[in-house]
């Protein structure tokens, strides 16, 4: 199927980053520390004991990086704001120098006709709030709404799209159930409550935005279609449980105002009885859904694997990325079509899509990342196929502009269109940057 001209005029072609992963200098100009600053400075938590102290030094190189974006021809750029730069204590006092950094960044983007899409929360909760219970505290949605209001008032005259929370599932499950992300908790009784408070935070911020905002607001979910590793009833049931655990746990409250029936069975006594009034507040407050798509799950029943009785197994008969994730572009089409057929075809953006590969070393200031070019070509084609099926897709944000701090993987995994090494801070173009520039110029992959 040709999707060369699937993309409509005005389709957004962007790149995505996040504050802690690229900015560096996290305590500059009066900023308060985040849970990721504390977590990465805890020995043994991050590969190579890497931290975000340097990252891509974007806090001091923003003008250079905006020039890279303009040279690519981006018409949009998704980035996050570090809560602690703006509110060092998480609440109350505004740190004007921190807010000024983001004011300047937005103005520089607009000078280049690049539309900002701002993520309010990309996992870097101020430690001051974490020390008051963090996302486990029932006050946390109100903390977030107050923080969001500061940003709406400061920037909504120039920012056309806001993302409230990036991947609440990852923040809750990796941070509070598996303990491999900040704050490093591994407590079965935390993940469900943290997820609920993140969804309530999203809803409260949307409510504030409805009163004072003039543009669009949404949320970005990591969506991963699940497929049984065999046609056995056990594997099919396991895939369905993992679909509830990863996808419907978030989609159903946001669109239907209810959690999947499978959740109490998955979590047992660790699943609270949430008030129905909460679920009504969470239902449908947003203007769009952001889809972060990377791969699919290939699922096998495994009674020993708590809490699902299912494990995602790595296929040996399919190409995979450096993260061990199968390259499966059809999963993007299927995920987008599911939003159309099961969730009312809401306005949607691909708020993240990209891949880490073991890039070759640079030769004459260029990296020949053929694997990433193929991954991007196939996934952008898959997005075009969904558009041709009537999916209400408005834009594509490539993850990521720069090689950056990949959370618990540190700097060992490279997702960027430009190679960056923290100790050198050069931006070395990859073949995928040239590829993406051509996609944008031709508004599709048909070139
Ligand atoms: N892993 N991986 C790459 C990427 C991560 O760097 C982003 O911060 C997350 O939003 C999402 O997990 C995807």
- Best residue among 23, 397, 399 to mutate for probing ligand 1's pocket (most ligand atoms within 8 Å of CB) is 399
Tell me the whole-structure pTM to 2 decimals: 0.98
Pocket lining: 406 vs ligand 1, CB cutoff 6 Å: yes
User: What are the C-alpha distances in Å from 174 to residues 64, 168, 171, 312, 353?
Assistant: 33, 10, 6, 15, 20
Q: ∠ CA(417), CA(313), CA(397), 5° rounding? A: 25
Contact present, 219 and 200 (Cβ < 8 Å):
no
352 is catalytic: yes
More confident residue, 295 or 1: 295
DSSP secondary structure, 226-295, as one string: EEESSSSHHHHHHHHHHHIIIIIHHHHHHHHSS--THHHHHHGGGS----HHHHHHHSS--SEEEEE---
DSSP secondary structure, 79-119, as one string: EE--HHHH-TTSSS---HHHHHHHHHHHHHHHHTT-EEEEE
How far does the centroid of ligand 1 lie from the alpha carbon of residue 276, in Å?
A: 32
pLDDT tens-place string over residues 183-240: 999 998 999 999 999 999 999 999 999 999 999 999 999 999 999 999 999 999 999 9
How far does the centroid of ligand 1 lie from the alpha carbon of residue 420, in Å?
A: 17
Q: Strands across the sheet with 226-228, in order?
A: 226-228, 297-301, 310-312
pLDDT tens-place string over residues 304-335: 998 899 999 999 899 999 999 999 999 999 99
Extract the tokens encoding 86.
């703006």
- Which residue's CA is the closest to the ligand 1 atom numbered 5? 406
Contact present, 310 and 242 (Cβ < 8 Å):
yes
Pocket lining: 167 vs ligand 1, CB cutoff 6 Å: yes
Q: Which helix (H) or strand (E) holds 438?
A: helix 431-442
Which pLDDT band holds residue 442 (cuts at 50, 70, 90)?
A: very high
Residue tagged active-site, from 23, 190, 352, 406: 352
Ligand 1 atom closest to residue 407's alpha carbon, by position in its atom list: 6
Ligand 1 atom closest to residue 323's alpha carbon, by position in its atom list: 1
Contact present, 332 and 367 (Cβ < 8 Å):
no
Percent of the chain predicted with pLDDT > 70: 99
Extract the tokens encoding 46.
């991050």
- Which residue's CA is the closest to the ligand 1 atom numbered 3? 406
pLDDT of residue 105: 98
pLDDT tens-place string over residues 64-87: 999 999 999 999 999 999 999 999
Pocket lining: 17 vs ligand 1, CB cutoff 6 Å: no
Instruction: Provide the terminal-to-terminal Cα distance of the chain, rounded to the nearest Å.
Output: 15
139 is catalytic: no
pLDDT tens-place string over residues 153-183: 999 999 989 999 999 999 999 999 999 999 9
Contact present, 22 and 56 (Cβ < 8 Å):
yes
Residue 304 has a CB neighbour count (10 Å cut-off) of: 6
Pocket lining: 415 vs ligand 1, CB cutoff 6 Å: yes
Q: Is the dihedral of CA 366, 370, 371, 375 positive or negative?
A: positive
How far does the centroid of ligand 1 lie from the alpha carbon of residue 90, in Å?
A: 24
Pocket lining: 399 vs ligand 1, CB cutoff 6 Å: yes
Coil, strand or helix: which one is 202? helix
For the segment 435-447, the average pLDDT, to the nearest whole number, is 90
Residue tagged active-site, from 23, 167, 204, 326: 167
Extract the tokens encoding 403.
């090689």
How far does the centroid of ligand 1 lie from the alpha carbon of residue 295, in Å?
A: 12
Which residue from 146, 147, 123 is spatially nearest to 135, judged by alpha carbons?
123
Which pLDDT band holds residue 384 (cuts at 50, 70, 90)?
A: very high
Contact present, 289 and 348 (Cβ < 8 Å):
yes
How far does the centroid of ligand 1 lie from the alpha carbon of residue 232, in Å?
A: 32
- Residue 189 has phi, psi (to 5 degrees) of -90, 5
Extract the tokens encoding 92.
């109350």
For the segment 352-369, the average pLDDT, to the nearest whole number, is 98
Q: Which helix (H) or strand (E) holds 195?
A: helix 191-212
Which pLDDT band holds residue 1 (cuts at 50, 70, 90)?
A: very low
How far does the centroid of ligand 1 lie from the alpha carbon of residue 83, in Å?
A: 18
Please determine, for the modelled complex, whether the ipTM score is greater than 0.85: yes
Pocket lining: 352 vs ligand 1, CB cutoff 6 Å: yes
Which pLDDT band holds residue 3 (cuts at 50, 70, 90)?
A: low
Which pLDDT band holds residue 2 (cuts at 50, 70, 90)?
A: low
What distance in Å separates the CA atoms of residue 152 and residue 207, rounded to the nearest whole number? 12
- Which residue's CA is the closest to the ligand 1 atom numbered 8? 18
Q: Where are the beta strands (DSSP E) in 175-321?
A: 216-222, 226-228, 288-292, 297-301, 310-312
Contact present, 240 and 179 (Cβ < 8 Å):
no
Residue 269 has a CB neighbour count (10 Å cut-off) of: 8
More confident residue, 411 or 5: 411
């Amino acid at each position: 199927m040709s999707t060369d001209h699937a993309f409509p005029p005005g389709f957004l072609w962007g790149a995505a980053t996040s504050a802690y992963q690229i900015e560096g200098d996290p305590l500059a100009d009066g900023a308060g520390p985040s849970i990721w600053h504390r977590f990465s400075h805890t020995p043994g938590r991050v590969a190579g004991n890497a931290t975000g102290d340097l990252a891509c030094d974007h806090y001091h190189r923003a003008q250079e990086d905006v020039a890279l974006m303009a040279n690519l021809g981006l018409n949009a750029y998704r980035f996050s704001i570090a809560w602690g730069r703006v509110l060092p204590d998480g609440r109350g006092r505004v740190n004007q120098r921190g807010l000024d950094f983001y004011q300047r960044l937005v103005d520089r983007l607009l000078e280049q006709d690049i539309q900002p899409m701002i993520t309010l929360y990309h996992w870097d909760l101020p430690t001051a709030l974490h020390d008051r219970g963090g996302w486990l505290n029932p006050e946390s949605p109100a903390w977030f709404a107050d923080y969001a209001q500061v940003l709406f008032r400061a920037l909504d005259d120039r920012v056309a799209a806001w993302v409230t929370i990036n991947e609440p599932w990852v923040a809750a499950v990796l941070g509070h159930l598996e303990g491999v992300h900040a704050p490093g908790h591994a407590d079965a009784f935390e993940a469900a409550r943290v997820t609920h408070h993140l969804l309530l935070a999203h809803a409260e911020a949307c409510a504030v935005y409805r009163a004072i905002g003039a543009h669009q607001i949404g949320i970005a979910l990591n969506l991963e279609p699940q497929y049984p590793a065999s046609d056995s009833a056990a594997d099919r049931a396991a895939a369905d449980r993992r679909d509830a655990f990863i996808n419907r746990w978030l989609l159903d409250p946001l669109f239907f105002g209810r959690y999947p029936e499978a959740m109490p069975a998955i979590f047992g006594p660790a699943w609270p009885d949430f008030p129905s009034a909460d679920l009504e507040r969470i239902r449908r407050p947003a203007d769009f859904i952001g889809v972060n798509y990377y791969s699919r799950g290939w699922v096998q029943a495994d009674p020993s694997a708590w809490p699902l009785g299912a494990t995602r197994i790595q296929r040996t008969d399919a190409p995979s990325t450096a993260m061990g994730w199968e390259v499966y572009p059809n999963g993007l089409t299927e995920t987008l079509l599911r939003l159309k057929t099961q969730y009312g075809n809401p306005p949607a953006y691909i708020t993240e899509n990209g891949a880490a590969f073991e890039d070759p070393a640079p030769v004459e200031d260029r990296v020949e990342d053929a694997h990433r070019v193929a991954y991007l070509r196939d996934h952008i084609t898959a997005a075009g196929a969904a558009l041709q099926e009537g999916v209400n897709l408005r834009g594509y944000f490539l993850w990521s502009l720069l090689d950056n701090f990949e959370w618990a993987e540190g700097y060992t995994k490279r997702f960027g269109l430009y190679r960056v090494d923290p100790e050198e801070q050069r931006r070395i173009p990859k073949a995928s940057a040239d590829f993406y520039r051509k996609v944008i110029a031709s508004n599709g992959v048909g070139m």
